[in-house]
Amino acid sequence: MFKEEHKAYLDQKHDVMKINIFIDGEELTPSTGNYSERRDPGDEDRVIGLVADGSKDVGAAVDAARRAFDRDAGGWVSDYRLRARVLYKAAELLRQNLDFFAETESLFVGKTIRTSRSSDVPRAAEILEFYAGLADKILGTSQILRTGDLVAVVKQPVGVVAAITPWNFPLVIMCRQVAPALAAGCTVVTKPASLTPASAFEFAKILTKAGAPKGVFNVVTGSGETVGSSLVKSDKVDAVNFTGETSTGRWIMEQAAGSLKRVILELGGKNPNIVFEDADLERAATAVTYGAYANNGESCAAGSRLLVHSNVKQKFIEMVVERVRRMRVGYQLDEKTDLGPLVSRKQLESVLEYVGAAASEGLNIVYGGNRLTESFYARGNYMQPTVIVDTPRESKLFQEEIFGPVLTVTEFRDEDEAVELANATLYGLAAGVWSNDVGKAVRVAEKIKAGAVWVNTYYTLPVEMPWGGFKQSGLGRNNTVHAIEHYLEHKGIYVDNQQGPMRPYYRLVLG
């Protein structure tokens, strides 16, 4: 738990980052002249950032992106080799600045520095490299018809893309959204989450240094109600990629319908981790614990529902709780911390409200459940990792996304019941299946209504694996070669070889 040694981290001085907007290749102060304070989630007494209110600058950012696309600024739309070079260079610069970006991610989000340094920043660089490698492989098709005429299908970028990103993985999810759009030749306006805008702002500088022409990548900070709404409603925006809450995703779909924008939505998840009695329980217990509490449980991919076979239920719960007890809750920049503070006081209160509902429902909280307030804990948004057993399917904790360090446990008796419970929510983002019977594992994975299913692992998400949801977990897919298709128009070009007779159907008009 939290030790006196953490005082050194809390008392460490950090410069207050001034996070401006970035439009048409330049860092600008906001037209409103207003900034909001961002406080350290590990020490709410300390301001770590001043975030520009860009609510009056959305039009300028969209216009810059529109000009850059329509005028092919610097050859961005037409020169795929330029796009590849810029994305490769941006990945290289990210790696060169790994420590800076890792600390920025952790400081603003509350995630552990180990996670940011070993996972988030390297993954963002890998995503950029993956799509840099696709920039020159956007291939169409052609066919010579029996008439001798040619039909060609070419792929062209859709235009201006609005990327609206969440606060839990600011850098990774932003790169997941914008890298395929940029590789396709689109231009982008990004609206980062108000709580964690620093990574997007700093990435804009990286991309410009890598050689992106003016207007290709723009960042406008501010609230979803102002900046996000204006982007979605703009007639000059051709596509929207949003990651966040399901309710917001529904609203975006409704608004985008007015101008028939393309919409890619990666929304909430209430993901089951299914453990059969024939699984490698030691391996499964470690992965289940990681899947539930990684990134402080603040992840749409979190394996927040443990479904475990009745024959091994008690043994497996004990194995998980034993691992949870060993987790160190502490300041996010401490290398020894396993679970950092939640992103904000509001988020902490929301999670505690769910735990309170568990108590009122008579559920058994076998570990955790409380905010930590002892000593320096009182200065931040720290909470115990929590395990709640015997959670019925009708419970709100079984059905709703908690987005915090809370794992619920529900038992099942056979394969059919496991699948039924796995599918018994509105969501369908991800799932895990644990069994040494490969046939059973694959059979269950096929029946689960989720966009990603891991077998005998959890949370392994390389760029080569598609990411997106079934049901109310979203539309479309990020990652893989398929994601780039969201940002491409397919155009048919018909070429008459002028060697044959006039087409018969012309005579219907010309006689």
Per DSSP bridges, beta strands 17-19 and 43-52 are parallel
The amino acid occupying position 220 is V
Number of Cβ atoms within 10 Å of the Cβ of 438: 10
**C-alpha count within 13 angstroms, C-beta hemisphere, residue 431:** 30
Whether the CB-CB separation of 164 and 242 falls below 8 Å is answered with: yes
Give me the catalytic one of 105, 298, 300, 411.
Answer: 300
Q: Give yes or no: 266 in active site.
A: yes
* Strand positions, DSSP E, 99-232: 141-144, 150-157, 160-164, 187-191, 217-219
What's 335's DSSP letter? T
Give me the catalytic one of 126, 266, 401, 411.
Answer: 266
Q: Return the percent helix, strand and coil in the chain, to nearest 5.
A: 40, 20, 35
Q: What is the DSSP string of 51-91?
A: EE--TT-HHHHHHHHHHHHHTTGGGTTT-HHHHHHHHHHHH
Look-up of token digits 């804009």: 204
Query: Which residues does 150 contact at the CB level (< 8 Å), separation at least 6?
Result: 142, 143, 144, 493, 494, 495, 497
Whether the CB-CB separation of 475 and 263 falls below 8 Å is answered with: yes
The C-alpha atoms of residue 174 and residue 132 are separated, in whole angstroms, by 15
**C-alpha count within 13 angstroms, C-beta hemisphere, residue 291:** 33
Whether the CB-CB separation of 10 and 376 falls below 8 Å is answered with: yes
Number of Cβ atoms within 10 Å of the Cβ of 223: 16
Query: Which residues does 507 contact at the CB level (< 8 Å), separation at least 6?
Result: none
Q: What is the DSSP string of 194-227?
A: TTS-HHHHHHHHHHHHTTPPTTSEEE--S-IIII
> In the chain, what's the furthest Cα-to-Cα distance?
94
Q: Give yes or no: 300 in active site.
A: yes
Active site amino acids: 266, 300
